[in-house]
Amino acid sequence: MSYRENKARRFGTAPVFFTSIATILGAILFLRFGFATGSLGFWGVILIILVSHLVTIPAALALSEIATNQRVEGGGVYYIISRSFGLNIGATIGITLYLAQAISVAFYILAFTEVFEPFFNFMYQRYNILVPRQVISVPVMAGLSVIILKRGANLGIKALYFVVFILFISLLCFFLGGTNYQGPEGLMNFTFRNQEDFFIVLAIIFPAFTGITVGVGLSGDLKNPGKSIPLGTISATIIGMLVYFFVTWKLASSASPQDLLDDQLIMSRIALFGPLVIPLGLAASTISSALGSVLVAPRTLQALGTDRSLPGKKLNYIFSRGKSETNEPYNASLITCIIAMIFVVMGSLDSVAQVITMFFMVSYSSLCLISFLNHFGSDPSYRPMFKSRWYISLSGFLISIWLMLMINITAAIVAFIVISLLYVNISNHHKERKGLEVIFQGAFFQLARKIQVYLQKSEKKQGASWRPSVVCVSKNTFKRTKPFELITWISHRYGFATYIHLIEGYFSKSSSEQSAEELKKLIQLSAIEESNVYVDTLISPSYTSAIAQIIQLPGISGMENNLVLFEYEQGNNKELSQILDNYALVKAGNFDVCIYANSQKAINFKQGIHVWIKPTDSENANLMILIAYIILGHPDWKKGFIKIFSLCRKDEKKRTWEQIVELIREGRLPISLHNVEILTMEEDVNPKTLISEKSANAGLVLIGFREEMVKQLGEDFFSGHEEVGDVIFVNANKYKEIK
């Protein structure tokens, strides 16, 4: 570590604890807890404390866990989120987090002015002068800005120790004090009033519990972040929660609900030396919280600039720059003070509190989600020294989202929309960076693994409806894309598909590199086609060895592959011959077989899919109809239809019609009876001629075949359909019932 790094990392655990506890036991404690207790009663506020800590404690544990798994640099929560979710989503949440931190400075300064409420009341009652709060808040904000800009974090931390001491004394005096108030009810009978206002009050006082992210914001200045962040953050969270329990009890037992509502400084009437120590405590808590926020916010902005995550090169350069050997974020501090000053001039205390609540809820839910996904993803590189539990993190995430919606569903939806738009904008500026897939990838891997293992272990139900799990191998992927389009149609909604690009040859370094490059092209092709096809490459010395390998591949869906798709170009007898040579090999594995003869014609989707059924297709007929129905489910075929042609003897025409009508109705197939045509077989008419006449303009034609035909006629059976266009020859391994 260089001399500069040693100088920059100069703080231990104490600053993390004190910045956190000073923010937790801050302005809301002195100004709004009396109001909350008066509004909801003792049990109502206790419920708020418990519900709020169902968010903050999981977030604190998640924060501590993540911080002990990686070296935490400057930027605190932003750094953790960006290195877990990726820089794009990290920047999105980081910008909102920075604004929350900057606005928090204004919130605490506005709260500080309430110390001077006796002065404002005196001026109004004595001289009838309504003195604006800005007379106090603006100079205080200006003074705080000068301190931070001139002296930086060193003076801020020293001042922090002093104000925390005053805060401790004021709380001690509060608990030692008392009143003559005698409540009508005992402790166990304290009420829960005005339940309908619960979430309104929660939104106002939730910022009282948001100190957990303040201490971690000093991460870039800590000697040992992995130790200081968990110890300081968790201890501050738990101690703060306990203090709030006792404060609520003291307030409820020392003043009437009306007094609690009417006097926002009711604590000064309860505390020992209250008129002196409570205003001092309020001043100490607000100034310490403002100090904590004004120290943390610039460091978040500086980290965003360092990562080039802000919109604009100049902004990134300006805000990433530090001052002196400690890299003090002077420029980021300046803009933070300006933003805070704007809200000081404009802001309303309760309105600002609700804005802060939404922003921090987003941050906390993100931390919990990161922790949960890391647990679920089981990444071997995720080895935190401090460990939370996945169910704690998941509950924290879900409760955060629920509270946002319950507090203000409109504000929550607006927040989600703004964050989404911000993410899209940042992603467009930084397309080279990865987004959400960085952390979700591990979770997807684990989910896929568990599902596949479950499906393999579960008993296959006899008589279950058939669905295709097709595997196709081709060495002509980039010469003709129709076969890939075909399995894209099959796998769009109802089926599963694996497409293997064959590289003929022996495995070597050069062929392996070729395989990697062509896999990239395959993935790009899959993205262009918007397909659900799993793609891969295979290096094999021959077509036959490749077929032998792919028919042994496990299905990606968890079910075994059940259909092999061959493909060849019409008129290319060499390719067709190669397929027929391997037909018996595939049939030995009890697969259904489709042989796709693709032509040079463009597919006319509006002309539909024609299914030709011959008397010899007793096993093939239903499979052809099912494949046609499945293909028709793809958007490319939205204006298409299925037309059935059935060849039969003259005396069987009526029975054949009835059988097909019954099949359509019983199977609830989207086939119009107008698209069913029964054709009589004539001895002097070749079925291929009928197919050429009736289906010359069809988008796709399905024709059945049997194993005996391959043995007897070979290539001749598949020829003679050049005028038709694209043909799929279908051979079912066994009869498929249409349920």
Place of tokens 């100034």: 287
- Residue 205: CB atoms within 10 A of its CB come to 24
pLDDT at position 225 over 80: no
| DSSP SS3 for 539 | strand
State whether 215 and 259 are in the same domain: yes
Q: What is the mean pLDDT of residues 349-375?
A: 77
How far apart are alpha carbons 13 and 233 in whole angstroms? 9
Per-residue confidence (pLDDT) for residue 455, from 0 to 100:
64
3-state secondary structure 695-715: CCCCCEEEEECCHHHHHHHCH
Least confident of 215-219, 270-274, 649-653: 215-219
From 97, 106, 104, select the one nearest 364 (Cα to Cα): 97
State whether 394 and 497 are in the same domain: no
pLDDT at position 556 over 80: no
Q: What is the mean pLDDT of residues 38-53?
A: 91
Report yes or no on 667 lying in a domain: yes
Report yes or no on 484 lying in a domain: yes
pLDDT at position 361 over 60: yes
DSSP 605: G
- Residue 672: CB atoms within 10 A of its CB come to 11
Is 500:538 a contact under the CB 8 Å cutoff? yes
How far apart are alpha carbons 459 and 466 in whole angstroms? 16
Pairing outcome for strands 609-613 and 563-569: unpaired
How far apart are alpha carbons 269 and 272 in whole angstroms? 8
How far apart are alpha carbons 364 and 396 in whole angstroms? 8
**Pair of tokens at residue 631:** 């293909």
Per-residue confidence (pLDDT) for residue 557, from 0 to 100:
63
- Residue 460: CB atoms within 10 A of its CB come to 9
Per-residue confidence (pLDDT) for residue 246, from 0 to 100:
93
Is 500:471 a contact under the CB 8 Å cutoff? yes
Edge-to-edge strand list for the sheet holding 727-731: 534-540, 496-504, 469-474, 563-569, 592-598, 727-731, 700-704, 609-613, 642-648, 676-680
Q: How many domains is the chain partitioned into structurally?
A: 3
Identify the residue with better confidence: 447 or 636: 636
Highest mean pLDDT among 29-43, 95-109, 224-238, 723-737: 723-737
Report yes or no on 360 lying in a domain: yes
Q: What is the pLDDT of residues 654-677, one digit of tens each?
A: 999 999 999 898 888 889 999 999
pLDDT at position 155 over 60: no
Phi, psi of 649 (to 5 degrees): -75, 160
Per-residue confidence (pLDDT) for residue 154, from 0 to 100:
55
Per-residue confidence (pLDDT) for residue 70, from 0 to 100:
65
**Pair of tokens at residue 334:** 């300046």
How far apart are alpha carbons 181 and 254 in whole angstroms? 6
**Pair of tokens at residue 263:** 């006097």
State whether 535 and 620 are in the same domain: no
Q: What is the mean pLDDT of residues 602-629?
A: 93
Among 438, 453, 481, the domain-final residue is 438
Q: What is the pLDDT of residues 113-129, one digit of tens each?
A: 877 878 888 888 888 88
- Residue 132: CB atoms within 10 A of its CB come to 11
State whether 525 and 614 are in the same domain: no
Phi, psi of 341 (to 5 degrees): -65, -40
How far apart are alpha carbons 363 and 542 in whole angstroms? 55
Least confident of 223-232, 274-283, 548-557: 223-232
Per-residue confidence (pLDDT) for residue 318, from 0 to 100:
86
Per-residue confidence (pLDDT) for residue 64, from 0 to 100:
79
The H or E element that residue 502 is part of is: strand 496-504
State whether 402 and 332 are in the same domain: yes
Per-residue pLDDT band for 8 (boundaries 50, 70, 90) equals very low
Per-residue confidence (pLDDT) for residue 7, from 0 to 100:
45
Q: What one-letter code names the amino acid at 524?
A: Q
Identify the residue with better confidence: 462 or 719: 719
Report yes or no on 26 lying in a domain: yes
Per-residue confidence (pLDDT) for residue 217, from 0 to 100:
59
Q: What is the mean pLDDT of residues 673-698?
A: 89
Q: What is the pLDDT of residues 315-340, one digit of tens each?
A: 888 888 877 666 778 888 888 889 88
State whether 29 and 164 are in the same domain: yes
State whether 671 and 641 are in the same domain: yes
State whether 17 and 121 are in the same domain: yes
Q: How far is residue 252 from each of residues 29, 52, 168, 248, 719, measured CA to CA in Å?
A: 14, 20, 21, 6, 92
Domain region containing 478: 466-567+576-587
Report yes or no on 132 lying in a domain: yes
Per-residue pLDDT band for 435 (boundaries 50, 70, 90) equals low
Per-residue confidence (pLDDT) for residue 3, from 0 to 100:
32
Identify the residue with better confidence: 240 or 358: 240
Q: What is the pLDDT of residues 183-198, one digit of tens each?
A: 655 444 467 888 888 8
Per-residue confidence (pLDDT) for residue 31, from 0 to 100:
82
Per-residue confidence (pLDDT) for residue 517, from 0 to 100:
93
CATH of the domain at 643: 3.40.50.620
Is 502:511 a contact under the CB 8 Å cutoff? no
The DSSP string of 277-310 is HHHHHHHHHHHHHHHHHHHHHHHHHHHHHHTT-S
Least confident of 347-356, 547-556, 598-607, 709-718: 347-356
- Mean residue pLDDT of the chain comes to 83
Report yes or no on 234 lying in a domain: yes
State whether 106 and 186 are in the same domain: yes
Q: What one-letter code names the amino acid at 547?
A: I
Place of tokens 């935490």: 72
Place of tokens 């953050």: 233
Per-residue confidence (pLDDT) for residue 100, from 0 to 100:
80
How far apart are alpha carbons 251 and 180 in whole angstroms? 13
Per-residue confidence (pLDDT) for residue 221, from 0 to 100:
65
Among 558, 587, 616, the domain-final residue is 587
- Residue 666: CB atoms within 10 A of its CB come to 10
CATH of the domain at 339: 1.20.1740.10
How far apart are alpha carbons 670 and 402 in whole angstroms? 42
Report yes or no on 447 lying in a domain: no
CATH of the domain at 505: 3.40.50
Among 396, 423, 438, the domain-final residue is 438
Q: What is the mean pLDDT of residues 596-605?
A: 91
Per-residue pLDDT band for 592 (boundaries 50, 70, 90) equals very high
Per-residue pLDDT band for 218 (boundaries 50, 70, 90) equals low
Per-residue confidence (pLDDT) for residue 456, from 0 to 100:
61
Identify the residue with better confidence: 739 or 707: 707
**Pair of tokens at residue 542:** 């021959």
Report yes or no on 240 lying in a domain: yes
State whether 166 and 236 are in the same domain: yes
Per-residue confidence (pLDDT) for residue 110, from 0 to 100:
82
State whether 580 and 616 are in the same domain: no
Q: What is the pLDDT of residues 459-509, one digit of tens each?
A: 555 445 788 989 999 999 988 889 999 999 998 888 889 999 999 999 999
From 332, 309, 307, select the one nearest 425 (Cα to Cα): 309
Q: What is the mean pLDDT of residues 507-533?
A: 89
Place of tokens 């978040």: 300
Per-residue pLDDT band for 595 (boundaries 50, 70, 90) equals very high
pLDDT at position 558 over 80: no
Per-residue confidence (pLDDT) for residue 187, from 0 to 100:
47
**Pair of tokens at residue 532:** 């659900």
How far apart are alpha carbons 322 and 301 in whole angstroms? 11
State whether 532 and 608 are in the same domain: no
Least confident of 448-457, 497-506, 707-716: 448-457
pLDDT > 70 fraction of the chain, expressed in percent and rounded: 86
pLDDT at position 156 over 70: no
